[in-house]
């Protein structure tokens, strides 16, 4: 059953007009982000990711096209309505953007003060949120006294203060070390599960998509190159932009397979990361030649591809192919370049 889109983008383009030149930052973008998604938008630097996320809350006004938030066309709202809609979309940034002269607690209270919430209620909410992000003991600390990961936790608490339906994250982990990145991603996942908040993540890091997203859009040169379930895109990247992200340069082989019975095994997450080829060799007591391999283990599931050369013997090669099929793997004969 299709869930309701919380954000829908239709035929969106954004052109920046400078004195001498125009930059087409986004061209004909169409996207549906459904309620409860952790939706990743990945692309190289300059691809248009930040512009896209800023168009979602109208921090950037699209040149053409429509942004529907919870069914409302944002371009049709008056200023007051747009302010209200924006309160339903929290945002966090790479550089945290905390107010340095305010304590952690006062930073979290800030959007509530702007929304006209009384001080006591705002403080109570800040206390709950500090607990949620695991920093109850830092209420009175100033940003300069906090680590990067702690600052991002405070920024997340602040973004959640007004009970948003969506949390927009613009490179939220790019300034953090790998361990801190993991802990922030785990917190975002927890927020998504416990509070049902839809999360949109802009990133240039594959690991962010791998660790927490269920849907992904790959943006390349101002356009959406591919969009879909993370498992589907990772197992069958179709466009060069997606292939480049999933199997980065250097991992491709330029070798040409001319021999008989070269097969490509695609791991699409439906099988666990068991040593399937080793087991097959043991079962049939005949070696196979691994010609190319690029697999990754995500959540205990295997993704990627391996190209192997099966034995010359037709009936044995046939049996081996069936063995692999039985284990839920996609197997196809290849010749030529597999990269």
Contact pattern from residue 183 through residue 222 relative to ligand ATP, giving x for each residue in contact according to CB under 6 A and a dash for the rest: ---------------------x------------------
Q: Which stretch binds ligand ATP (CB under 6 A): 46-54, 107-115, 230-238, 302-310?
A: 46-54
Q: Among 49, 138, 158, 215, which residue interacts with ligand ATP (rule: CB under 6 A)?
A: 49
Closest separation between CB of residue 44 and ligand ATP, Å? 7
Which residue of 45, 144, 254, 315 would you call a contact of ligand ATP, by CB under 6 A? 45
Strand runs (DSSP E) across 88-194, as ranges?
89-93, 166-170
Q: How many residues sit in the footprint of ligand ATP (CB under 6 A)?
A: 12
Of 118, 136, 116, nearest to 127 (Cα)? 136
Q: Which stretch binds ligand ATP (CB under 6 A): 40-48, 124-132, 243-251, 294-302?
A: 40-48
31 contacts ligand ATP (rule: CB under 6 A)? no
Mark 303-322 with x for binding to ligand ATP (rule: CB under 6 A) and - for no binding.
--------------------
- Site membership for ligand ATP, residue 51 (CB under 6 A): yes
- How buried is 13 (Cβ within 10 angstroms: 0-12 exposed, 13-18 middle, 19+ buried)? middle
Smallest separation, CB 235 to ligand ATP (Å): 25
Answer for which of 23, 187, 206, 277 binds ligand ATP (CB under 6 A) is: 23
The contacts of residue 155 (CB under 8 Å, 6+ apart) are 92, 93, 96, 97, 98, 107, 172
Taking CB under 6 A as the binding criterion, the range among 43-51, 115-123, 182-190, 308-316 that sits at the site for ligand ATP is 43-51
- Measured distance CA(152)–CA(93) in Å, rounded: 8
- Collect all residues with Cβ–Cβ distance below 8 Å to 138 and sequence separation of at least 6: 104, 130, 145, 146, 150, 154
- Is residue 155 at the binding interface for ligand ATP, with CB under 6 A as the rule? no
Token digits for 9?
């983008």
What angle is formed at CA 260 by the lines to CA 254 and CA 263, rounded to 5 degrees?
60
Q: Which is nearer to ligand ATP, 50 or 57 (CB)?
A: 50
Out of 5, 33, 42, 43, the only residue in the binding site for ligand ATP (CB under 6 A) is 43
Read off φ and ψ for residue 88, nearest 5 degrees. Answer: -85, 0
What angle in degrees, to the nearest 10, is found between the helix axes of 148-160 and 104-114? 20
- Judged by CB under 6 A, does residue 16 bind ligand ATP? yes
The neighbouring-strand residues paired with 187 are none
Are the CB atoms for 57 and 210 separated by under 8 Å? no
Residues of the shown chain interacting with ligand ATP in the complex, contacts defined by CB under 6 A:
16, 23, 25, 43, 45-51, 204
């Amino acid at each position: 059953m299709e869930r309701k889109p919380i954000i829908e983008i239709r035929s969106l383009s954004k052109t920046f007009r400078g004195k001498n030149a125009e930059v087409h930052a986004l061209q004909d973008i169409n996207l549906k982000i459904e309620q409860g998604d952790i939706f990743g938008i990945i692309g190289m630097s300059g691809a248009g990711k930040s512009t896209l996320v800023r168009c979602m809350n109208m921090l950037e006004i699209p040149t053409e096209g429509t942004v529907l938030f919870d069914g409302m066309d944002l371009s049709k709202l008056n200023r007051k309505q747009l302010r209200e809609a924006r309160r339903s979309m929290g945002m966090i940034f790479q550089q945290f953007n905390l107010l340095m002269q305010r304590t952690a607690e006062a930073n979290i209270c800030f959007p509530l003060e702007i929304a006209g919430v009384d001080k006591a209620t705002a403080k109570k909410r800040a206390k709950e949120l500090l607990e949620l992000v695991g920093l109850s003991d830092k209420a009175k600390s100033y940003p300069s006294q906090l680590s990067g990961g702690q600052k991002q936790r405070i920024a997340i608490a602040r973004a959640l203060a007004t009970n948003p339906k969506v949390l927009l994250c613009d490179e939220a982990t790019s300034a953090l070390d790998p361990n801190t990145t993991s802990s922030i991603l785990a917190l975002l996942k927890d927020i998504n599960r416990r509070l049902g908040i839809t999360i949109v993540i802009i990133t240039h890091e594959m690991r962010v998509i791998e660790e927490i997203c269920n849907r992904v859009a790959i943006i390349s040169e101002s356009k959406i190159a591919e969009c879909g379930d993370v498992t589907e895109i990772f197992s069958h990247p179709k466009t060069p932009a997606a292939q480049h992200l999933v199997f980065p340069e250097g991992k491709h082989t330029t070798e040409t397979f001319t021999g008989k019975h070269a097969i490509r095994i695609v791991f699409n997450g439906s099988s666990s990361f068991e040593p399937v080829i080793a087991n097959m060799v043991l079962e049939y007591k005949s070696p196979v030649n691994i010609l190319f391999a690029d697999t990754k283990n995500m959540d205990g599931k295997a993704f990627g591809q391996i190209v192997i050369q099966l034995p010359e013997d037709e009936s044995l090669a046939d049996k081996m192919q069936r063995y692999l099929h039985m284990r839920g793997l996609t197997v196809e004969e290849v010749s030529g370049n597999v990269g």
